[in-house]
Amino acid sequence: MSDATQKLLRHYQDQVLDPYSPTPLYHQLHTMLRDCIVGGVLNDGDRIPSEKELAEAFGVSRITARRALHELVLEDLVARHRGRGTFVNHKYRRDLVSAPLVGMLESLETMGRETRVKVLSLRFVRPAAELAEEFELDDNQQVCQIVRVRRHHSMPFAYYESWSAGFDRSLTKRALEQRPRLELFKDFGVRITHIEQTLTAEAASPAAADALGIMPGKPLLKLVRRSFNKRGRQVDYLNGVYNPDRFQYQMVLDIDANGGKRKVKR
């Protein structure tokens, strides 16, 4: 067994390919290999296991292994050399997107300008009963549901589902992809003055995993954010998950030697 195969098996010792998943086996294997390459488990110049080695290690056919490798070639993450094998063609950079836990309104606008977003769906729906109660909706009132993926240097790092009471049906996917949502809220006459959010961890759902190019079940950073207008009414609920290999939240504290008080650096 090659060193690269051993690396892969150690990294994915608790995960297996699921033949009953709607996601094809070749795509599951491709995602695992891609995650190891962009995440730095396999380094630039490392030899990728052969089709035979991958087939034996992960219990798939050689055709499945060949297709997974072909997808990596198309993405220019690996290069094939006749008579030598397939090698990683990607230099890992821990280029994390960072967001401070304070100065939230300002930092959200900045991140919106420095990264790129793709809207996967935009529709008006009646939310679940618990969420409808949070929004204080009338019986037949709907909200705008938006599903997005955010990228940095062409790499997806965040998957969002949001429900907004501040938008009407004139909102377009193009507007959401070109401008930060905070700016769009202002265009619709909504001024967000207060945000409440919680940070937890969550296993990647199939939808999030597909959007982020990772394996289902991978641990992700989960953020739930509630936004309120100046009258204290909730106008937005956002559920976002982040790949911790590509994103982090930061907070820096200064200690005041005189009073012993901590000051948060924005």
What mean pLDDT value characterizes the chain? Answer: 81
In a domain, 266, yes or no: no
Note down the domain range covering 65: 3-88
pTM: 0.62
pLDDT at 104: 44
Give tens-digit pLDDT for 21-30: 778 888 888 8
The answer on 243 and 129 residing in a single domain is yes
pLDDT at 175: 94
DSSP tag of 77: S
Greater model confidence, 93 or 50: 50
In a domain, 225, yes or no: yes
- Contact between 230 and 209 under an 8 Å Cβ cutoff? The reply is no
The answer on 106 and 73 residing in a single domain is no
Greater model confidence, 146 or 30: 146
DSSP tag of 29: H
The share of the chain scoring above pLDDT 70, in percent, equals 79
The answer on 144 and 56 residing in a single domain is no
pLDDT of residue 114 exceeding 70, the answer is: no
Neighbours of 8 (CB within 10 A): 23
> Could you tell me the pLDDT band of residue 146, with boundaries at 50, 70 and 90?
very high
pLDDT of residue 63 exceeding 90, the answer is: yes
The answer on 83 and 116 residing in a single domain is no
pLDDT of residue 13 exceeding 60, the answer is: no
Boundary-marking domain end, from 68, 88, 108? 88
d(CA 128, CA 111): 29
Which strands sit side by side in the sheet containing 78-81, from one edge to the other?
47-48, 85-88, 78-81
pLDDT of residue 158 exceeding 70, the answer is: yes
148-163 exposure pattern, b = at least 16 Cβ within 10 A, e = fewer:
bbbbbeeebbbbbbbb
Give tens-digit pLDDT for 161-209: 999 998 999 999 999 999 888 889 999 999 998 888 888 888 888 889 8
The answer on 103 and 80 residing in a single domain is no
Greater model confidence, 15 or 33: 33
In a domain, 50, yes or no: yes
pLDDT of residue 59 exceeding 60, the answer is: yes
The answer on 124 and 240 residing in a single domain is yes
Question: What is the biggest distance separating any 2 CA atoms in the chain, rounded to whole angstroms?
Answer: 69
Strands 47-48 and 85-88 come out as: antiparallel
Q: What is the CATH number of the domain that holds 33?
A: 1.10.10.10
pLDDT at 263: 46
Average pLDDT value for residue range 128-132: 88
Average pLDDT value for residue range 119-127: 93
The share of the chain scoring above pLDDT 90, in percent, equals 27
The answer on 68 and 148 residing in a single domain is no
Identify the helix (H) or strand (E) that includes residue 57. helix 51-58
